[in-house]
Structure 1
């Protein structure tokens, strides 16, 4: 109540909280609902601003995300990325403009593109990373070394390759491997002899990034400066005027311009029936723009802000989240030796020929092999990593959540790392459900329509534990001992409904 009467709202309390230990704004949200013992709470995040609701109940969050006539993308995400990708579809409202813009990139989600372009590019970069780590292990000779920067750079390399082609000269992991190979060949490398202990980490610092990769990284990290700012548009004006960011922006614009121009040239040189020239998202988007222009009877605009922001969005949205999730994967499997052993056994038994030949499985073998325990491990890493800590929505009409009135315009943050998701759920008494608004030509439906995942919950005794087995059920009639079921319990890592994440987990 004190925050509701204060001009600054909850900002003083948040500032005090962040100054203690390793607290973050997200842990403040989670601690708020827990301290109030309430699945729905309000916080005042801006001076003189309206309250933001914190929703900590999976079932109600799921229903909210499916109620597209009552909730839409909130301004919270727009505030966060507006100075970086102002014309990206991710922060647009769900309207005709959003649908039209999605048409320009929808071909990136076609199975043929994922299988023939995205998959091989990601595979190629991961193989290079594994080769580099083998060399690092040899140099370290049993001593520990840091892997975080390697994972970050490999994710950036993969997204650069996906966006602009696998033959890009800008690849941090490939450059690191070349340096490591040269270091391994040196006979006078006495790094290990100088160590006082086998437990002392070895200094294997990554090579400096190329100017293009550094520019991309600098720009993606600007979001960290904006996160939590009470006046984001002013903070963006300040951040984008920093000399380093202005230089990075110019570099990014010049690089994307050249890549788009090269893609246009390749398209014009290819025959209409030939799709072999498509090696990147840029190629696919350029081809899509050509086809849309023909359909609409207009001249194609290959250098529009929309195309530039959508292409950079692959790097901005893909590299950071992928790197964070992979870091959690390494951390969780290191901490849980039993899960690591079981996953290794599952992989070796699934790729017996590759294992017998002492080689990596090919991308075709990986795509064509179903490994339930691998799927379960990936799903559990996503659940525990909580890379996206909340899903945001804004009420487009006066509505209700958990029986409480929610005025039009209210922003709601569905917490993905709190009660009902990573800790025991609150005891929520289901309120009566209103009939969902009816669209013209739509059959009558109700908000609490039954679903196989509705009202399911994880076992409170192990909900906080890393346990891939929670996603497995006994196999059916196909002879499998176990089967992966992604709908066994609460999980919203990629959101839900029409505004769910555009990239499926299988791509990563």
Structure 2
């Protein structure tokens, strides 16, 4: 009888322990589930359905990426869907929400004047730490290494370097790009052709040329042109070979300069193509600034970097104002009545002698 009671007690204890264990596991799983759920920031619009899923906005983003190959339009659509200039989405389990600010003047204020409050995000740092851990792109601005590291590359944006090193490479690579496009226009019978990859490659040629002094034999655009000529009208994408970049400073220069340059050129090309009236004014301003080149029907020489063309400056600033991917630009404020217009004249004023003067 005593033995049976002991066995019953042991059996009951086992059941209790198993019950407690299963309950603990259940509570733990529920706790992990709750922790993995998105935690929306109060007062900021978001996708209510995504806020109740562990993966948050990832399924929708992945679906868009799988269908279109890019994610950025999804972010734009997310803002348009909720309409306010400040929205949030959930990019990963256990992670804080990502806030998207689409108000230009507020973004400008944060980037230019509130850097200490809104430093580089962890996600940005993680993107560069693996490739260039000792470049200032992978550092917070208040870090002990940032200031000294940035001093090492400060001269790359100096007028002397831009005029003597960058301008020469940009000029040469631009001529190669023009030759390539001229040939494509002829062989396509005047029909439109994709230009994005050409700009991307040309920008890489420009930045790489300024950094390493690459000649035409390493130019992607020049190779494309030669390949196009050697194969008649048949054109296929040229894949750039791997390059062993020596030193984090050079690599950082390439990483930082290439994407921003190609994006800015792409947006500028789009805006100028969309606004034919302003394009005609720009062409006339360039003819007047370079009368010898216009008369001889040739491309201006590299002195274009030191020639003052106010309307060209206005065009550039207007493209930068409207460019959604631009990260840091210096501008003033404008009337809300015409902010949606492409209007280079907003950057110009009439001088004392009646000529247009760049005013920014």
Scaled by the length of structure 2, the TM-score of the pair is 0.73
Alpha-carbon distance between aligned partners in 2 of 1:14 and 1:177, rounded to the nearest angstrom: 37
Q: Which residue of 1 aligns with 2:350?
A: 475
- 8 Å Cα contact 1:348/1:355 also seen in 2: yes
Shift of 1:383: 3.3
Alpha-carbon distance between aligned partners in 1 of 2:189 and 2:84, rounded to the nearest angstrom: 52
Alpha-carbon distance between aligned partners in 1 of 2:177 and 2:151, rounded to the nearest angstrom: 34
Higher RCO structure (Cα 8 Å, ≥6 apart): 1
Deviations 1:156-204 (A, max 9, x none): 2112211101436311222344455556xxxxx7x6xxxxxxxxxxx43
Could you tell me which of 308, 311, 314 is aligned with 1:370? 308
Alpha-carbon distance between aligned partners in 2 of 1:311 and 1:326, rounded to the nearest angstrom: 22
Q: Which residue of 2 aligns with 1:76?
A: 123
Gaps of 5+ in 2: 1-39, 41-47
Alpha-carbon distance between aligned partners in 2 of 1:171 and 1:63, rounded to the nearest angstrom: 39
Computing the radius of gyration from Cα coordinates, the structure with the larger value is: 2
Gaps of 5+ in 1: 184-188, 192-202, 216-251, 258-307, 392-415, 417-450, 487-508
Whether 1:320 aligns to 2:259 is yes
Q: Summarize the alignment of residues 456-495 of structure 1 with structure 2, pairs less than 5 Å apart.
A: 456-460=333-337, 462-465=338-341, 467-477=342-352, 479=353, 481-486=355-360
Whether 1:159 aligns to 2:33 is no
Shift of 1:20: 9.8
Q: Summarize the alignment of residues 93-104 of structure 1 with structure 2, pairs less than 5 Å apart.
A: 93-94=140-141, 95-104=143-152
> 1:153 aligns to what SS in structure 2?
helix
Alpha-carbon distance between aligned partners in 1 of 2:224 and 2:214, rounded to the nearest angstrom: 17
Distance 1:165 1:75, change over 3 A: same
Q: Which residue of 1 aligns with 2:154?
A: 106
Distance 1:84 1:37, change over 3 A: same
Distance 1:51 1:140, change over 3 A: closer
- 8 Å Cα contact 1:472/1:482 also seen in 2: no
Equivalent pairs counted in the alignment come to 311
Distance 1:63 1:145, change over 3 A: closer
Q: Summarize the alignment of residues 332-351 of structure 1 with structure 2, pairs less than 5 Å apart.
A: 332-351=271-290
Q: Which residue of 2 aligns with 1:38?
A: 84
> 1:53 aligns to what SS in structure 2?
strand
- 8 Å Cα contact 1:376/1:472 also seen in 2: yes
Q: Which has the higher helix share?
A: 2
Q: Summarize the alignment of residues 286-297 of structure 1 with structure 2, pairs less than 5 Å apart.
A: none
Shift of 1:6: 4.6
Q: Which residue of 1 aligns with 2:297?
A: 358
> 1:77 aligns to what SS in structure 2?
helix
Distance 1:474 1:44, change over 3 A: same
Could you tell me which of 241, 244, 254 is aligned with 1:214? 241
Q: Which residue of 1 aligns with 2:43?
A: none
Distance 1:77 1:356, change over 3 A: same
Whether 1:130 aligns to 2:178 is yes
> 2:344 aligns to what SS in structure 1?
helix
Scaled by the length of structure 1, the TM-score of the pair is 0.53
- 8 Å Cα contact 1:14/1:25 also seen in 2: yes
